[in-house]
Structure 1
Amino acid sequence: MTRRLARYRIPVGVLALVALCLVALLLQKMLNFNYNNQTFLIALKTNQDHDHQDHDHQDHFDIQQLTRRAEHLRRTCQSLGLSRLQPITPISSVPILDRKGIFTVCVGPKVGKKWWRILGARAEEKGFANVQSRLPAVISVQHPLSRLAQCYREKFLGGKNISQYAVHPKRGGESWTLRWKSYWLPALISTGKISHGPLISKLIQTHRRHANMTPSHTLMATLITQAYGHMDALLLRTHSDVAFTFEEFLHHVVWTHVLGLHDPNWTSQFTLCQPCDRSYDYVSHLENSEEEVNNLLKVADVKGEFRFVSSVASEKGKKEGVFTDLLLYGDIAKHVMDQIFRLYHLDFVLFDYSTKVI
């Protein structure tokens, strides 16, 4: 019997080749996913950045890249006739940072707001100042799909049960109750896990005119309290351990936009900083934040260099972020992705981010 089996033994070399092929197929599956019968790769950088990818590994990032984006922004705004539009999000909720004579930057939620604040604080500590008469104006943006993924990981815990949320003892944060009323309970409604009663529809319609005066997540919490406050205890008992998939989150994003409740955390970046009505000198991509900001400081005649993390940690974080985002979008239905691309079309076009299919 042993001799018979020996005849069918597969050579070690063949086994190694088969194993190598399997590993290659697995890697390919991680990097690509089938979307609409095509191989769709989420491009987390701009077309121009892709053409200049060799520069990403150099200490000196081409400052002209930021000015080219600003010129592209101006040309596109003009060609599409997007000037003098009423902003959807109130200007009071848009963070405009003027760091005492260094530069002026508009940065929305989930676009490195904390990062820019740290930069400004460190600059002030070191006594940096811009000697130019006019401050450079910067708009900081992020790839729309990456921004949504980041928001999902933060506000919806990346798919974990909401019962696991806890306010950090040192960093603080939103209370569990505020998260419940502002994000999770509305998402239960938008996904159909809780019935969308006529009262909430009436309240939203009545208060929609206030959406341009009140931060939308605060308004949503108010509306939810009015519509579901009488049964809040019951809903908490039955849904306090719920978790949301990424597709459910994307559906919720579309739902809030349809209702006219544009939450600053995921509303289009076009609506936050009025890029077509303000004159920006530079457009900074969060994906290259460290290189780009250091060169912005040089342009502003600021001496010194900022390094927030080691280059090794930075590159590792970028790679892990790309893989995580790819996995999140891998199983999203085509019609949902179509809605997302339509919703954030202007962010892709104005800020020169790629959505190409390869």
Structure 2
Amino acid sequence: MSARRAVVLGGTGGIGSAIVRQLLDATDDWQVDVVARRGGAAADALVARGARFVPGDRRDGALLRDVLRDGADLLVDGVAATATDARQLTPYLPDVASTVLLSTKAVYADERGRHANSLERPVFPVPITEAQPTVPACEGDPTSRDGYAANKVAAEQVLLDHGAPVTVLRPSKVYGVGIGRPREWWVVRRVLDDRPHIALADGGMSIDHTTAAAGVASLVRLVADLPDRRILNVADEPAPTVLDIVRTIAGHLGHRWEEVLLDQEGSALTGRSPWWTPSPVVLDTSAARALGWQPPRFEDAVLPEVDWLVEVAQSTPADGDVPWATDPFFERLFDYGPEDAALTLLSLRE
């Protein structure tokens, strides 16, 4: 039996590389073409495992024609951000057995139209099913606060309306080896800095569902054999609290510190982690599980990423920065002065 062919657009990122590894490690035989703008260590590692690397921009029409003109058994698009991106794929969908679009839980809107990137935090039902309303589709600026999710919805609609078997996956707070924005660094760096305490807003009970890149990969592998038009949430089971996340990472690294579990008053001063949210955000994954998918557990799935973060940090020169240090997301997350001052003030009030 000849190998089945998969094309992964954006295949060297944290999610894409996990999908490629899952396919290459499958018991059945897959030939995997990895499309990404540039090579490097991630691409080299995938090629060493048997993938074929295709350098180029996913939005280059000539490149897409070259890699898709003969069709594929599986097409995964981890890059598409707009309806225009999605339209580039439609000529090839009839010759693809199963297509997967990686979307985001940020598309969901609450009853007042608020979404994950709104200035005012949304309040969702618990859990959020795939039937939850989304923000209106829009073809504006996908990098803006309101445009990111709206453009994703537009991309979803283009592919789902085509009629081909397209599965849209909506993950939340993705983590994994090689991920571009490793939120777990918020804990790991504090451990490496030997912090004696960690402050957690709202007693560490906040929940913003996490999704293992490896879990996304296993679901992609499953739907490759079950092509259909559908939308699926993808997330860990169960959804960990911030306290669960902190204890898992610190415990794995053998670090002990004082957990300062703040009440509402203290939470206004400090302790807001990358997973903090005033109301819980939990995805319902029953639709994916009904297909036979087994969600990962955060406490197990996060450990390879934690080890990777430590390895990267320890191999970075003392006068250098980890690769994600320039991400504005991490600005002020490690400004310990105000945090220590707030904890001192809180202790004086007791």
TM range (shorter): under 0.3
Q: Which has the higher strand share?
A: 2
Superposition TM-score, scaled by structure 1 size: 0.23
Choose between structure 1 and 2: higher helix proportion.
1
Whose RCO is larger (CA < 8 A, sep 6+)? 1
